[in-house]
Amino acid sequence: MAAAEGNAAPQSSNHAAQPRSWHGIVLETLKRNDVRIIPYVPDRVLTGLIKGLHADPFFTTFPTAREEEAVGIVSGAWMGGVRGAVLMQTSGFATLANVLASLAIPYQIPLIMFVSERGTLGEFNYGQSLVCRTMRPVLDSLAMEHHTITRLDELEFIVDRSIKQAVTTQAPVALILSPLLTGGKVFDK
């Protein structure tokens, strides 16, 4: 069993010539930090990451019916000694206030969440833009650590440091993947 508080040593990742994709960097950083169980509720923006995770047997990657369910699963896994992370989109995060306030935070569980940000920078669905506005106020009202990642050159640093901080301080973190990083979802009809 892996010790929940053990720190994986950072490795240099030299993938020379080819520019690295954002999802490739996320996958490698998860692996380097021994984050293995990845339940998700899918999002088109996350497709590349989800495919990469499924293709890599290091990870146990699977869909759940609701984001809250995924939070329960990684919470149980962490208590059992295995780290996990949840993937979701903005509207999925909006379903989580209760589980954050009644499980992750009071039980001091290092819940690691990746949220692909919809609702801004070219949103075409008014409901998505409205629900997006609830995300940061909810995170702030619970005094939760969160970062909005906009730049590829900052991605690895933010993800790596945030995972380590979540584990060592036993506190959840939300990593918001901005359309500036991922390209987002655009109106195409």
Residues engaged in binding other proteins (CB under 8 A): 1, 3-4, 37, 39, 60, 62-66, 68-82, 84, 98-99, 101-103, 106-109
Nearest approach, Cβ of 44 to other proteins (angstroms)?
Answer: 21
> Which of 22/93 has CB closer to other proteins?
93
Can you tell me whether residue 62 is helix, strand or coil?
strand
Q: Would you state the torsion angle of the CA atoms of residues 79, 162, 137, 61, taken in this order, to the nearest 10 degrees?
A: -50
> Which of 1/16 has CB closer to other proteins?
1
Tokens representing residue 61 in the block: 């990657």
- The closest alpha carbon to 88, from 29, 148, 176, belongs to 176
Nearest approach, Cβ of 62 to other proteins (angstroms)?
Answer: 6
Where is 147: in which H helix or E strand?
strand 145-149
Nearest approach, Cβ of 58 to other proteins (angstroms)?
Answer: 14
Nearest approach, Cβ of 17 to other proteins (angstroms)?
Answer: 38
| Residue 185 backbone dihedrals phi, psi, to 5 degrees | -115, 130
